[in-house]
Structure 1
Amino acid sequence: MKFAPIIDPHARRPMPKPVQVDLRKAFIFGTILWTVALVVCGCCWYFGHIRWFQMATFICAFGMLIGFALLIWEHFDRSDYRRLGQ
């Protein structure tokens, strides 16, 4: 019966173990993309192509800062990963 796990908790399958992932790769890749976008938007804003590049430059700068903040957070949170892996 499909409703048995809902009605009877003992009929449920055991939960899988959480997967350990390396967030540094994702955060570094995202920060690099924000940095490239910042350089492109900064050059377009400096040479005066379109006015909205000024706002896009600030958005890219904040994205890059958030990426660095996430890298710092991940560095300090890595001790939890090590503890869970043992």
Structure 2
Amino acid sequence: MAKWTPTHEAPEPLEGPVVATVTGGTVIWFVLFLVQVPFYGWFDDHGHLWWLWTCAAGAGLGLIGIWYVRGRDAALRRASAAPDPGA
């Protein structure tokens, strides 16, 4: 079986409000964590405590994601504002 090779160029990646998207997702994870905290005992009794910690991990990783995408966004802005060295 022959290896498939593309016959056309790959499209440019879609750019959107990445910082807002990651921030929104982080807020949702944190809100879900806060909603579940009052039911800690119930989750513990029924073996579903991992739900609570999954939301906490999502919020924590989201904070890292916000830091990352803000830095990426700033680097893209710096690169687009810099003069073109080839011109």
TM-score normalised by length of structure 1: 0.66
| 2:23 alignment partner in structure 1 | 28
Cα distance, 1:85 vs structure 2? 7.5
Q: 1:38 to 1:64 in 2, by over 3 A?
A: same
Give the distance between the partners of 1:49 and 1:16, measured in 2 at CA: 49
Pairwise mapping of residues 2-81 of structure 1 onto structure 2 (< 5 A)?
6=7, 16-45=11-40, 48-51=41-44, 52-81=47-76
Counterpart code for 1:76: G
Unaligned runs of 5+ in 1: 7-11
How well do the aligned residues superpose, as a CA RMSD in angstroms?
Answer: 2.6
Give the distance between the partners of 2:63 and 2:42, measured in 1 at CA: 29
Unaligned runs of 5+ in 2: 1-5, 83-87
Whichever of the two has the greater Rg, that structure is 1
Higher relative contact order (CA 8 A, sep 6+): 2
SS at structure 2 position matched to 1:50: helix
Cα distance, 1:32 vs structure 2? 1.1
Identity value in percent: 19
Q: 1:43 to 1:15 in 2, by over 3 A?
A: same
Q: Name whichever structure is richer in helix by fraction.
A: 1
